[in-house]
Amino acid sequence: MQTLTLTQPDDWHLHLRDGAALQAVLPHTVRQFSRAIIMPNLKPPVRSVADAAAYRDRILAAIPAGKRFEPLMTLYLTDNTDPAEIIAAKASQFVKAVKYYPAGATTNSDFGVTDIRKCDRVFEAMQQVNMPLLLHGEVTDKAVDIFDREQVFIEKHLIPLKQRFPHLRIVLEHITTSDAVEFVLGNNNIAATITPQHLLFNRNILFKGGIRPHFYCLPILKHEAHRRAILQAATSGNAKFFLGTDSAPHGRNSKETSCGCAGCFSALHAMELYAEAFETVDAIDKLEAFASFYGPDFYQLPRNTEKITLTKTTWRIPDEVPFAESGLVPLRAGEEMTWQMA
């Protein structure tokens, strides 16, 4: 196969930042994706419909001339979110979901939820208006090993949440373990996004030849057995699993430091990365549904009609691309790839 033509995909988990950073990274996403679920963890976070509307306007203003792109907005859940804000969000039609971060779990999550049960009134409202809940599914308890935080979250928080709100639609984002795959498969009204880094790499890559900060993300890369389970889920043809890059831009000076930020930047070459992952298990025929169909179906949105084409060719990922404060290092920078978007 020398060319691969797909219905234009969407990214169901994306960080765009704001200001100069937004201006720098948005064109990479627009080149490949028609729509994206935009993460709300700005400083300060996007906590209201008014915040989301203002941020959406800034994104629309940054779209390159002549290009089309629809940002799908989310609200940042806090201990104090008012259920009335959920009703307003649903009425807005441009807010598509609410994002749960455990306080302190990842970048700009300090405003996150300290106790998930404090949000039950919000979850009840979300269930009533059919608003999806997007979960960063990790505990932040320092007593829990970083490689076990997803599994413990499922057992301690997600199972009870589903019992309390069986009709709440949930996306368990950027899943990293076989435990998450099993939970998604075994429960109704729940789906999962999968990133390119969790399909392609296990935790060994973090230390190959030394510490490699540009492979550091949260949830952290896991054991090879978990990577294989994630890859099998993504390529299975099951509509519960779909594309979400979690592309998270941090300048080189924020990654290559004594306390580097978590996040992998993949918006530059996301579809090429996914194509390589699917090809490793001879499942390239399953890529279109994973990237272009299952996400819109879960979010109850129309599928795209435009097409993109990937070509079988060898090219080198740049060492860095321009960014706001310093160079931005893409995932697998400097390495060769075997698919390229036309």
Going by C-beta distance under 8 Å and a sequence separation of 6 or more, which residues neighbour residue 307? 5, 6, 7, 8
Position 324 scores a pLDDT of 83
pLDDT exceeding 90 applies to what percent of the chain? 96
Position 103 scores a pLDDT of 83
pLDDT band at 325 (very low <50, low <70, confident <90, very high): confident
| Annotated catalytic residue, options 51, 145, 246, 297 | 246
Model pTM greater than 0.85?
yes
How far apart CA 333 and CA 318 sit, in angstroms, is: 6
As given in the structure block, the two tokens for residue 294 are 């299952």
How far apart CA 71 and CA 54 sit, in angstroms, is: 12
If you average pLDDT over every residue of the chain, what do you get?
96
Asked if residues 174 and 246 have their Cβ atoms less than 8 Å apart, the reply is yes
Residues in the chain: 342
Is 179 marked active-site?
Answer: no
**What integer is the mean pLDDT of 187-209?**
98
Query: 52 to each of 37, 167, 291, how far by Cα in Å?
Result: 12, 25, 25
How far apart CA 279 and CA 140 sit, in angstroms, is: 35
The neighbouring-strand residues paired with 95 are: 73
Q: What is the pLDDT of residues 13-38, one digit of tens each?
A: 999 999 999 999 999 999 999 999 99
How far apart CA 246 and CA 46 sit, in angstroms, is: 17
What number of other Cβ atoms are within 10 A of residue 115's Cβ? Answer: 10
pLDDT band at 108 (very low <50, low <70, confident <90, very high): low
pLDDT at 3 over 80: yes
Q: What is the pLDDT of residues 236-271, one digit of tens each?
A: 999 999 999 999 999 999 999 999 999 999 999 999
**What integer is the mean pLDDT of 84-89?**
98
Pairing of strands 336-341, 307-316: antiparallel
Position 110 scores a pLDDT of 55
Give the H or E element holding residue 96.
Answer: strand 95-100
DSSP characters over 157-183: IIHHHHHH-TT--EEE-S--SHHHHHH
pLDDT at 159 over 90: yes
Q: What is the pLDDT of residues 29-71, one digit of tens each?
A: 999 999 999 999 999 999 999 999 999 999 999 999 999 999 9
Position 109 scores a pLDDT of 59
pLDDT at 105 over 90: no
Give the H or E element holding residue 242.
Answer: strand 241-243
Q: What is the pLDDT of residues 116-153, one digit of tens each?
A: 999 999 999 999 999 999 999 999 999 999 999 999 99
Overall fold of domain 10-306: TIM Barrel (3.20.20)
